[in-house]
Amino acid sequence: MSTVVEHLTRAERSAKGKVARAEVPRAEHASWSPAQRTQQPLDLLAEQAQTRVPELVPIRYGRMAASPFAYYRGAALPMAADLSTTPRTGLNVQLCGDAHLSNFGGFASPERDLLFDVNDFDETSPGPFEWDLKRLGASLEIAARGRGFEAKVGRKWVLGSVRAYREAIRKCAQMSNLDVWYSRLDMGGVVEEWGSEVGSKVLENFRRATTKAESKDQLKARKKLTQVVDGVPRFRSDPPLLVPVSELMNAEDAGQIDKMIHEALRAYRRTLPGERRRLLESYQYVDLARKVVGVGSVGTRAWVGLFVGNDSDDTLILQVKEAEASVLERFVTKSPFNNHGQRVVEGQRLMQAASDIFLGWQRVPTGVDGRPHDYYFRQLWDWKASADVDTMSLEALNVYAKMCGWVLAHAHARSGNRVAVAAYLGSSDVFDQAIADFAVSYADQNAVDHRALVDAIAAGSVRAEMGV
């Protein structure tokens, strides 16, 4: 049965936002108290570990223990549980679900332009728009503290980011649906939007970052991750971070694993449009390796697949990443997709200005552990650019915070009632100040939670591998 789509007038959409503001005043978003918490972070992290690769879980804990910001990156589920206890506007959009500042960055569009956008969708799900802003705001405050900046710096970053979001969503509310859909942020847009706020040195650094990103491509991935064996490229062995599949199985399982891989690839190909399926079929699969990635994702089943085209210099490396239920799902509406790989792909296509041409999904009905696993596929590197928040200048980070707010607003505008959100936020900075207050309180909480993990590791109740 098809879903009935509601088509409201602009006035009716705006009225929804004003009703939401009356029911949940903007200033109420400032509140956070440990007394609200209903679930303990270490319990939630241990729960996640139950479905992950056992030998990799200590690496996850070790990476999270490195700093309060590293802990925050891995603590999406504990924060989702905390956000579920805060006031909700009821103005739902497609959420990133893990919108901390390191989950934004640059990548190549199919037209070969470098775009800046949200770039991680493992936790994407419909939910109240303010949850993404609270996660982003707290990440900015935590990052500022990690750099040793005085308190006013973190607040400035948060206020700048939320203001950029508010002004962008209000502008989107006046745009046509098609104009919102086609909006994107490239280097020219950065200069046009914020060039007057920064010096020539910052702009030159942005341009250098663009040039560097364009070199982080399939060629660089091949040089770093592969070697030629008997005339054929194969993945290097660098355990535990990169382990060829041949080292993870015994000889009698080889045939079964190879059959499973080819069945999975056929299922994945069927999720691509016809012309991209044809492009993928021009490459021959040659190797697979398990690759440890990120912080919060460590322990999930993440792979890289190697394919060869005309010759060994014509290679394609795809990332094959496990998708479990979004950390938001138990607190919001259940995903309409039976396959969580599809959930990630559909959410990414909805939120991003442009998405990878090989983005697709599949399910392995029975993994080596006897359970089904959902996966999504994408190119490993395609002009990947990410901000180094530990070294960026204060001036550059001021602009970066605003860029994150701007693209998040456009991502939300594509999927939600942007007129209602704009009406809710209004033209004043009441909401901005509230999120900045929340960010301070939650950064305090995050520091306590990080210390609890460090203490648990020291006490031996949590096993961690440091520095991996």
Question: Which H/E stretch holds residue 214?
Answer: helix 200-215
**Secondary structure (3-state) at 71:** helix
Q: What is the pLDDT of residue 1?
A: 44
Is the bond preceding 240 in cis, omega lying within 30 degrees of 0?
A: yes
**Which tokens belong to 10?**
């602009």
Banded pLDDT at 367 (limits 50, 70, 90):
low
Highest mean pLDDT among 208-217, 294-303, 404-413: 404-413
12's CB contacts (< 8 A; 6+ apart) are none
Percent of the chain with pLDDT over 90: 76
pLDDT at 445 over 70: yes
Supply the pLDDT for residue 362: 95
- For residue 198, report the phi and psi dihedrals to the nearest 5 degrees: -125, 160
Q: Give me the mean pLDDT over the 270-291 stretch.
A: 95
Tokens 């390796």 belong to 289
From CA 397, how far away is CA 394, in angstroms rounded?
5
The pLDDT tens digits of the residues spanning 154-172 come to 999 999 999 999 999 999 9
Q: How many CB atoms lie within 10 A of CB 84?
A: 18
Q: Cβ atoms within 10 A of the Cβ of 144, count?
A: 26
Question: Residue 75 — pLDDT band, cuts 50, 70, 90?
Answer: very high
For the cut 70, the answer to whether the pLDDT of residue 252 exceeds it is no
Can you list the alpha helix ranges (DSSP code H) found in 253-389? 254-269, 274-281, 340-351
Three-state secondary structure string covering 417-456: CHHHHHHHHCCCCHHHHHHHHHHHHHHHHHHHHHHHHHHH
Q: How confident is the model at residue 255, as a pLDDT?
A: 67
Q: How far apart are CA 188 and CA 280, in angstroms?
A: 32
Confidence class for position 219, pLDDT limits 50, 70, 90: confident
Q: Are 269 and 281 in contact (CB under 8 A)?
A: yes
Once rounded to an integer, what is the mean pLDDT over residues 75-96?
98
Which pLDDT does position 328 carry in this prediction? 97
Left if phi > 0, otherwise alpha if psi is -120 to 50, otherwise beta: which for 385?
A: beta
Rounded to two decimals, the pTM is 0.94
Calculate mean pLDDT across residues 116-125: 95
Closest CA to 173 of 351, 368, 338, 412: 412
Average pLDDT along the chain = 92
pLDDT top residue among 439 and 205:
439
Q: Are 209 and 385 in contact (CB under 8 A)?
A: yes
* pLDDT tens readout for residues 12-45: 999 999 999 999 999 999 999 999 999 999 999 9
Q: Which of 202-216, 291-305, 387-401, 424-438 has the lowest mean pLDDT?
A: 202-216
CB count in 10 Å sphere of residue 234: 17
Paired residues of 250 in beta bridges: none
- CA 142, CA 150: separation in Å to the nearest integer? 12
Q: Which of 440, 278, 322, 351 is nearest to 124 (CA)?
A: 351
Confidence band of 393 (pLDDT split at 50, 70, 90): confident
Q: Quote the CA–CA distance of 456 and 212 in Å, as a whole number.
A: 40
Say if residue 193 is exposed, middle or buried (CB neighbours under 10 Å; 0-12, 13-18, 19+).
middle
Between residues 292 and 390, which one has the greater pLDDT? 292
User: Is the model's pLDDT at 73 over the cut of 50?
Assistant: yes
Q: Which helix (H) or strand (E) holds 306?
A: strand 302-308
Residues 125/347, Cβ–Cβ less than 8 Å: yes
| pLDDT band of 253, cuts 50, 70, 90 | low
Q: Which pLDDT score, from 0 to 100, does residue 43 have? A: 98
What is the pLDDT averaged over residues 195-206?
71
**Using CA of residue 135, residue 434, residue 141, residue 46, what is the dihedral sign?**
negative
234: phi then psi, degrees, rounded to nearest 5: -135, 155
